[in-house]
Every structure is written in structure tokens, then in C-alpha cells.
Amino acid sequence: MNWLFPLAKGGGGSAASGGPAALPARTGLQQQKQRQIEALRAAHAAIAEIQKDVEYRLPFTVNNLTININILLPPQFPQEKPVISVFPPVRHHLMDKQGVYVTGPLINNFTMHSDLGKIVQSILDEFWKSPPVLAPSPSSFPYLYSKPAAMPPYAAPQGFPFLPPYPPQETNRTMAAVPVSESVSSSYATDKPAAPSYGLITDLPLPVPTAEAVLQVGQNGFTYKMPDIPDTFPELSELSISQLTNMNEQEEVLLEQFVNLPQLKQVITDKDELVKSIEELAKKNLLLEPSLEAKRQTVLDKYEQLTQMKAAFEKKMQRQHELSESCSPSALQARLKVAAHEAEEESDTIAEDFLEGKTEIDDFLSSFMEKRTLCHCRRAKEEKLQQAIAMHSQFHAPL
């Protein structure tokens, strides 16, 4: 069962010893790594663990821009420096040229005795002092037809790739010589030479097929097999030498004989059928244009909705950050200390007024006792909160 319980020393070791097998002791490097992780958690309560002891993420918001700080711990951490990156990419003096990785003395001077929690806090302080700006994205939102007016481009890395980018068109696409029309065939390069020129024969709708160009491949992958050309023509074998000589000298007769070949008739028929099918397909595509335009408009509406929701989300994240900062234990302790001091000053003012004879004894006793009690209650709460903070810091302090 070692494959199921890899921490066990043997298949029956725990049974023989009468108790569970002890976990292996941590090495010095692992203990130092755990101290750094605990310091990071103690300094930043909002940090999220993506992968245990490997990757951590800390979100924060500055100037309505929500940024995620990603902290990656290498295998030999803390002997090796941590890799700290941000998403989305931003422009800042602490970032590299791409705006992804944090550089500078904070990371370059990292040693085993550095405090990772304080380093991350220093990065946050720098971001607060000098707010970063969103780095421009190389690719914008790919619209189907045209970009709508007054709509800013949405950064693709933040990501919502609604439409896949179209593949680049090939500029030197190679096709076999099938000149259905001169304007179409002239836009493509051909690897095989066209049929030789024989006067009026060049006016035929298709070239003379050769042995190498029997299989024709179109632009969209459509394959057309040319009819088989026989080695001999029975019609010509029945003619005399004078008739063949006359045919060779008179091009009209040769052209007539050539046009009447069943193979050429088959090619012309196939071409007409292909042109007809292309026209029908084009008509069907035109019928789909309204639905495509409606879907395009739907995508644009969704994009606008996404932009509004993103702005609302960032505003709420900013509000959440402000509330979390105002409700932190240290902030509450400071408020209690100030409130207790204010209650104490008010009670001293009431006592001075009584000594000067400005208030009656009954009024003095009721108001003085009320303010003094309030002062002591706030002092007691502030001291208890301070003790709780100290115990929490001691519990999470590195060993």
C-alpha cells in the first residue's frame, strides 16, 4: 500500500509499531519557506492560495482599476527569488517593459532573510503613491464588419475573446491552371504551364488537360478529376493521310474535331453545373445576411453590456476595499482610542464646570458618571481588541 500512502515507511510498519507512521521532519529550507508564507498571510489577510506553498494571489483596487498581484514561489524558495507578476498588465516604474513582472530592488535584492509580506506591502504602497495605468493591448476587439463609433477597444487579455481572429490570407496561394474566367485565374499563381497556343484553340473555355494536371484542386479544397484522355482516337484512325493533312492545315476543321470530343463535352457540362451550384450557394449566403447582421448587433449589445458591468464591478470593488480598510482591527482600535479620549475630555469639562459652580450637583452626577462610564467602556474594548491583535500576530508569527 506504499503507492496509496506514500508517507508510510512500509506496508506493515505502522501496524507493527502500534501507531501511525510519523510524518517526515521538515528541512531547514522548508521551515524558512513556511515562515515566509506565514509572514505573507499575516501581512495580507485578503490573499488567496491558488496552489499550496507555490502560488498566491492578492487583489487590490486603485483609481477604479482592479489589479491581481500573483506571487509564485520557486522550488528552492527562499534561496531563489519569488516571481511577482500582475494582471492585467500595467505601466509603472516597478514593472518591466511588458508591464507583467515586478522588477527593481525590491525583487532583485531578495535574500533568505527578507520578509515577503513586507515586500508585497512595499509594492502596494508604491502603487498607491504612484497609481499604475493599464498597458495598451496589441489586439483589439475583432468586429465582423466595422468598428462602431465612440466605442473604446476592449483589451483581449482581460479577456473575453468573443470572436476568433480570422486567419491571414495567403498571398501566394498555388492552384492548378483552371481558368474558368480570366479575371479569376489571373489572381493566382500556377505551378503548371497552361496549354500551348494553337490559334483559335486558346478561345476554348478550359485548357487542354495534360497527364500531370488530371486532378484539379480548387481554392476551397474542391477536387475535380479530369476525364481520362485515351492514347489513340478511333475517329482519326479511320481517316486517310490526305484528310489528316487537310485537317492539320485547316484550323477550323481541327477545332471542330476537338470540340466534338466526348471528354471536352464532359468538362464543359461539369463546368456549367459547377457555375450553377455556385450561383445557388451565393443566393443562399445573401439570404443569411439579415440573420448575420442581427447576430452582429447582438454581439455589439453584449459588448456594451459587458463594458457597463465591468465599470459597475470595479466601482463596487473600490467600495469593498474602502470598507475592508475602514473595518480592519487596527482601524477599529484607533477609532476606539480616539472615542475614549473624547469621552474623557468631555467628563473633565463637566467636572471643571461643576467646580466653577456652573452646574448643579444632580446634573453633574448624572452627566459626569455617564461620560466616565462611556470612557471606561471604550478603553476596555480598545484594550481587549489590542490583546486579540497581539495574540493573532503571535500565533501567525514565524517560528
> What is the per-residue pLDDT across 341-391, written as a single tens digit (0 to 9) for each?
898 898 889 888 888 888 888 888 888 888 889 999 988 988 888 888 888
Q: Higher pLDDT residue, 231 or 303?
A: 303
Confidence of residue 396 (pLDDT cuts 50, 70, 90): low
Residue 161 lies inside a defined structural domain of this protein: no
Does 6 score more than 80 pLDDT? no
Query: Strand 55-62 to strand 48-51: parallel, antiparallel, or no bridges (unpaired)?
Result: antiparallel
CB atoms under 10 Å from CB of 77, counted, come to: 22
Residues 275 and 355 in one domain: no
Query: Does 127 lie in the same domain as 40?
Result: yes
Residue ending a domain, choose from 102, 134, 166: 134
- In this structure, the answer to whether residues 286 and 301 fall within a common structural domain is yes
pLDDT at residue 300 tops 50: yes
pLDDT at 282: 94
Asked whether residue 20 is assigned to any structural domain, the reply reads no
Rounded Cα–Cα distance for residues 13 and 140 (Å): 62
Which of these three, 265, 297, 324, is where a domain ends?
A: 324
Residues 256 and 304 grouped into a single domain: yes
pLDDT tens by residue, 205-232: 444 444 444 445 555 556 777 877 777 7
Q: Which of 103, 134, 165 is the last residue of a domain?
A: 134
Return the pLDDT at 222: 60
Q: Is residue 288 domain-shared with residue 338, that is, in the same domain? A: no
103 within some domain = yes
Place of cell 477599529: 332
Show the domain range for 117: 28-134
Instruction: Say how far apart CA 162 and CA 156 lie, in whole Å.
Output: 9
Is 57 in the same domain as 99? yes
* Total number of domains constituting the chain: 3
Per-residue confidence at 333, pLDDT binned at 50, 70, 90? Answer: confident
- 32/121 same-domain check: yes
> Is residue 192 pLDDT above 70, yes or no?
no
Determine, yes or no, domain membership for 33: yes
Q: Is residue 157 part of a domain?
A: no
Its pTM stands at 0.32
* C-beta separation of 313 from 355 below 8 A: no
User: Which cell numbers in the block locate residue 206?
Assistant: 478550359
Is pLDDT at 305 greater than 60 in this prediction? yes
Judge whether residue 129 has pLDDT over 80: yes
74 in a domain, yes or no? yes
Count of positions (residues) in the chain: 399
* Nearest CA among 76, 99, 116 for reference residue 107: 116
Position 254 in a domain: yes
Please indicate, yes or no, whether residues 332 and 251 belong to a single structural domain of this protein: no
- Find the CATH number of the domain harbouring 66: 3.10.110.10
Residue 361 buriedness (CB in 10 A; 0-12 / 13-18 / 19+): exposed
Numbers of helices and strands, H then E, in the chain: 12, 10
Q: What tens digit of pLDDT does each residue of 144-168 get?
A: 334 444 444 434 334 433 333 334 4
54 near 73, Cβ under 8 Å?
Answer: yes
Residue 46 lies in a domain: yes
